[in-house]
Chains A and B, each alone.
Chain A
Amino acid sequence: MEIPYTVTARADTGVNNAKLGVWLFLASEVMLFGALFTSYILLRTTAPEWPKGYEILNVPLATLNTAVLITSSITMVMAWASLMMKNFSKYKIYMGLTIILGLAFLVIKALEYGPKFSHGLYPSTNTFFAIYFTLTGLHGLHVIGGMIINSYFWGPGSKMWSTDPQRFTNRIEVAGLYWHFVDIVWIFLFPTIYLV
């Protein structure tokens, strides 16, 4: 049986089902990160003392990672735009770059975590590190998830371009929605954990 409304918009919603589905999923993701964020506020405001992020964490590495993730957002949107312009080979390049930038983000993250562990700083060390590792770790898992999806659409999933190009373009658009959301989460995590 065909999945309905993968290409055409539903009359009552005005969008295709994939788009509404992914936005609803992102709404649940807002609540997931929101719950952790509100825990952070509660723990920080009630703590007798709280270290400054920039005194303990590696701000230059995190700044570089912000630039990497923002760049991966533009390559992701360019991957979609390439499909809109019917240029599949450009799509492959931009989607490939998005995946590589995701990997670069994780490598830089590992370079950041490594010295923390070697200095004996773990989530169990104190509340600050518990929050730091939970929020950045969960965000890192989201990057890994996005890379799996993007790799599928770069590789085997891209066969759909020759059979159903519009549906494939829509898939890339909604995969992009998720990837940009992960970027937005980092845009909020970076200043609130590292810079204040």
Chain B
Amino acid sequence: METTAAHDIKKHVRLYISVFIALLALTVVTVAISYLHLDITAAIFVALTVAIIKGSLVASYFMHLISEKKIIFVTLILTVLFFVVLMALPLFSHSDQVTSSNVP
């Protein structure tokens, strides 16, 4: 039992190192792309895409989400839901602005 666990961990360690190298590589990629000075929409799209990949790698492997119990996912799904609402607030404010036409 002990030896199996230790063996599994050794396999994990190799995976952690691969993830680490991927994270460093993606950092170089995102900085390199920023020097191209793309227009703002493209730049934000690229920056967020790379950040989401990097964040998912950290959460999946370093935080062991890839093999986590259901209760943790339930907690996180709820968090994501609230987070999306939070991010949508600026959109709501855009669609309901005070302008000269709707001020009594």
Q: How many A-B residue pairs have CB under 8 A?
A: 126
Contacts of A86 in B (CB 8 A): 6
Residue of A nearest to B40 (CB): A196
Chain A contact residues, majority secondary structure: helix
Chain B contact residues, majority secondary structure: helix
Q: Known: A20-B72, A23-B76, A77-B16. Contact between A184 and B55, CB under 8 A? A: yes
Distance of A123 from chain B, by nearest CB (Å):
21
Contact among B20, B40, B51 for A188, CB-based, below 8 A? B51
Residues on B facing A (Cβ under 8 Å): 5-6, 9-10, 12-13, 16-17, 19-20, 23-24, 27, 30-31, 34, 40, 43-44, 47-48, 50-51, 54-55, 58-59, 61-64, 69-72, 75-76, 78-79, 82-83, 86-87, 89-90, 93-94
Known: A20-B75, A31-B83, A195-B47. 13 other contacts (CB 8 A): A30-B79, A31-B79, A34-B83, A37-B87, A38-B87, A67-B24, A73-B23, A176-B62, A191-B34, A191-B48, A192-B47, A195-B31, A195-B34
